[in-house]
Amino acid sequence: MKTLTTYWFLQDFNLFKKLGMSTMMEMCDLLEMENIDKGQTIQIGTRDKKCVFFVKKGAVKIMDASSNTTKYIVKNGNIFGELSLFNLEAASKEVAQTLEDSIICYIESDTMERLLEKHNSLKNKILKIYGLRIQKLENRLENLLFKDSKTRIEDFIRAYIEEFGLVKQGKIEAKNLLSHKDIANLTNTSRQTVNNVLSSLRKEEKIFYDSKYISILHQNIPEIT
């Protein structure tokens, strides 16, 4: 029953689309699954157990373990902890925290590595995810060099709504999961600057937000400014 339940949970992951039924069932038998409340910490690279994690429901933020600064956000249908497959030292420097009540599956890195060796399609997709993480980091560094604080915040808000939002009545609406401090970390700005920019965008009716949701008119998605 546990294996069938896990299989149902993982069907929507693009990561596993090309795996056959037997391989999926094998993998599901190896996965553990947990319901994790909002605000809970998930240790990614502990000394005794390094794992790769799959977010079935909810969202998590990945933080630097020493500074508690937010590095990136992972939504449902995506993975985190893949660094443990490539760089154990780097993985030990990350920690995750749930942004809402979540369902997380996880598998030990050593076991995942054996599966990657057996299934090239799975290995290629993991490498692609890792590459996209690096690309996002490079984009952030480029933005830091060539864009001012206001533009970085506006671009981040637009990208966040596009990635996490759903179209509803002519607008794209996303759950407001991030604090101003999180946005400041992700845009290399200050909380006060984030507050000022968001207030200005709301006053100009370029975005709409409250404690639960943040949205933008659908036709405004190409550019906020």
What is the domain-level CATH number for residue 188?
A: 1.10.10.10
Do 94 and 43 belong together in one domain? yes
What is the side-by-side order of every strand in the sheet holding 51-57? 32-36, 102-108, 51-57, 78-80
Do 6 and 108 belong together in one domain? yes
DSSP 45: B
Do 135 and 161 belong together in one domain? no
Residue pLDDT, tens place only, 53-91: 999 899 999 998 888 889 899 998 889 988 888 776 766
Q: Which helix (H) or strand (E) holds 109?
A: helix 109-118
The residue among 86, 115, 144 that closes a domain is 144
The residue among 127, 144, 161 that closes a domain is 144
Structural domain boundaries enclosing 197: 148-220
Do 175 and 98 belong together in one domain? no
Do 119 and 177 belong together in one domain? no
Residue pLDDT, tens place only, 116-175: 888 888 888 888 888 888 888 778 888 888 899 999 999 999 999 998 998 888 889 999
Do 8 and 119 belong together in one domain? yes
The CA distance from 203 to 220, in Å, is: 15
Do 177 and 132 belong together in one domain? no
**Other CB atoms within 10 A of residue 53 CB:** 21
Do 8 and 103 belong together in one domain? yes
Contact call for residues 85 and 128 (beta carbons, < 8 A): no
Residue pLDDT, tens place only, 169-218: 888 999 999 999 999 999 999 999 999 999 999 999 899 998 899 998 76
The residue among 144, 173, 202 that closes a domain is 144
| Closest alpha carbon to 120 in 23, 218, 1 | 23
Do 16 and 50 belong together in one domain? yes
5 has pLDDT over 70: no
Within a domain: residue 97?
yes
> Which of 2-11, 18-27, 197-206 is the most confident on average?
197-206
Within a domain: residue 225?
no
| Closest alpha carbon to 157 in 225, 98, 58, 95 | 225
pTM, to two decimals: 0.82
Do 114 and 152 belong together in one domain? no
219 has pLDDT over 70: no
Distance of CA 22 to the CA centre of its chain: 28
Do 130 and 72 belong together in one domain? yes
Number of domains forming the structure of the chain: 2
Give the helix ranges, DSSP H, for 38-102. Answer: 88-91
CATH of the domain at 35: 2.60.120.10
Within a domain: residue 9?
yes
Within a domain: residue 184?
yes
Q: Rounded mean pLDDT of the chain? A: 84
pLDDT of residue 224: 46
